[in-house]
Amino acid sequence: MAHVLERIRAQGQLFLLRYEGTAPDFRAVGLNPRLDTNGDGKIDMLTEVRPVYEAFFANIAAPLPIVERYADPAVLPLAQAAFGEGFDAGLYASYQALPLDDTLRTLRGIPEPPRLLIVNGANDDQTPASSAQLLADGLPSAGFSATILIYPGLSHILSPQTDIFAPYGAEMQPEPVEEIGDWLARTLTRD
């Protein structure tokens, strides 16, 4: 059961998928209808998922009401156990402390626009590669030079991952590390 619970928590599948069976033998059987608000059989990341995650992070100290509202009923008891005593914000504490648009204000205040590097795994379950591409496409109109590197078959931590719902845990692959290093060397030595 711990393995199933960790997988659901770590990869956001609690919200995205519909399940059948009982712990520890849940199996995903489709998309969570609570998120497919327009009933088209697809979950749109911007209009259907984003509001749920924004609400989740806004209530990070006590996310259980959001989880109960949107999670698949089959996994709700696991979610209640996981989130009932609060949630260790850890990595997400910065989301509460700093409004996201403050970063852009800081970048715009720099006299010379910085060059930006956007690195994403194509199978990233936390930051979709399509969102990274939208960001890269929009940055030039805001006066920024951006390089984007999207790695097929890699996860959020740039380790191998067969698809966005598969577990990951391997080491970061050497290719992204080398290319990030090369980009930094070129960028920091420019005239």
What pLDDT, on a 0 to 100 scale, did the predictor assign at position 139? 84
Q: What is the pLDDT of residue 118?
A: 94
User: Are 118 and 146 spatial neighbours (Cβ–Cβ below 8 Å)?
Assistant: yes
Summarize pLDDT for 155-181 with one digit per residue, the tens.
888 999 887 666 666 788 999 999 999
What is the pLDDT at residue 180?
92
Across the strands, what pairs with 160?
A: 154
pLDDT value for 164:
67
Whole-angstrom distance, CA of residue 65 vs CA of residue 60: 11
Report d(CA 33, CA 21) in Å as an integer: 17
Distances (CA, A) of 126 to 25, 74, 81, 104, 152: 24, 22, 22, 21, 15
Which regions in the chain score pLDDT beneath 50?
1, 4, 7, 9-11, 89-96
DSSP character string of 7-66: HHHHHTHHHHEEEES-TT--EEEEE-TTT-TT-SSS--IIIIIHHHHHHHHHTTTS-HHH
Spatial contact of 1 and 11, defined as CB atoms under 8 Å apart: no
Look at residue 175 in the predicted model and tell me its pLDDT: 94
Residue type at 120 in one-letter notation: N
User: What are the pLDDT digits (tens) for 53-65?
Assistant: 777 766 766 777 8
Rg over CA atoms, the chain = 19
Rounded Cα–Cα distance for residues 103 and 139 (Å): 14
Q: Dihedral, CA atoms, 128, 72, 67, 103, nearest 10 degrees?
A: 10
Query: Torsion-angle region of residue 45: left (phi > 0), alpha (psi -120 to 50) or beta?
Result: alpha
Domain spans of the chain, in order of start: 2-93, 99-188
